[in-house]
Structure 1
């Protein structure tokens, strides 16, 4: 059993039954492995949650890298919209909600700091770039709680307006 399959099983369990159902035995059962097989990869529930959080960060970094935009904030916006459109936000909300331990969320705090500090000074308009990044966080948060709120037309309109903010001032 590979790590990703174990993490998938844990995320599915969280989505289906909530954080109280997240036990090593339940994850092993969901993944179809022995508890020892799970413990080989993740020695504790905390290690499993940390693995889920780290995978979410890696997923967003991959979405960023796949964006064709020339500016960091343009890629950040594109990655955020890709995550919203794909439904990945539910995973974020569920996994981070399951981790009531601030230590387990430390990698996410570090990633957020990196994403929001990265190359801001290299943007044509650093203040507009910061506004767009913060708008992405708001969109992310609202969409994770109400994924049906914005239609694709709404998202296209938001993207157009936010991208217009990123154009260099005349």
Structure 2
């Protein structure tokens, strides 16, 4: 006898459907009706968990915050340091956190100040962790820009990362070379 894998709870399915619609079709397509249909629940079922589109967005922001807290903890205890962790993990890997970030970014591109505020809070926390690791505000900001650029390129253009020298034949980014740059920046004499 085979067992069917259990489905995630309806609330999780609704949030996942909302993320998928935001990523694939954009905020305009992520109506309550479309989210309910994509989640396989009735509109009443969706409204049981999320009373409005704003509540659905608040649920996404809450999920983003929870996933970010896990990331902050991992970053803080990474043996290579916070700066290298930030760059190394700035390669889009299709993780739950990556997908939630991209979905929220789609909302932040519009007028959603709640999502923008969540991103500002996350960015500030990453910056403080990197600053504590590096000790120089300008270098900490440069590390963040390297990581943000990696993420942007991977998310927007689908450029993969690889370990090797310079760009790969497919335009991929060599993360090891960037980590070496971060190390040189972190050990540069401070003036």
TM-score by length of 2: 0.70
Gaps of 5+ in 1: none
- 49-58 or 153-162, which deviates more: 49-58
CA radius of gyration, larger in:
2
- 1:78 is aligned to 85
Give the total of aligned pairs: 166
| Residue 136 (structure 1) aligns with | 147
Deviation at 1:95, TM superposition (A): 2.7
Output aligned runs, 1:37-56, within 5 Å. 37-56=45-64
**In structure 2, what is the Cα distance between the partners aligned to 1:69 and 1:128?**
19
Moved over 6 A (4+): none
Which structure has greater helix proportion?
1
The answer as to whether partners of 2:82 and 2:130 remain within 8 angstroms in 1 is: no
- Going from structure 1 to structure 2, the CA distance change for 1:15 and 1:107 (only over 3 Å counts) comes to closer
Structure-1 separation of matches of 2:145 and 2:10: 36
CA separation in 2, counterparts of 1:124 and 1:110? 20
Superposed displacement of residue 160, structure 1: 2.7
Equivalent residue for 1:97, pick from 106, 109, 118: 106
Q: Which range is displaced more, 74-83 or 51-60?
A: 74-83
Gaps of 5+ in 2: 1-8, 164-173
Q: CA RMSD in A?
A: 2.8
Larger relative contact order (CA 8 Å, sep ≥ 6): 1
Shift of the alpha carbon at 1:110?
Answer: 2.3
Match for residue 78 of structure 2 among 69, 77, 83? 69
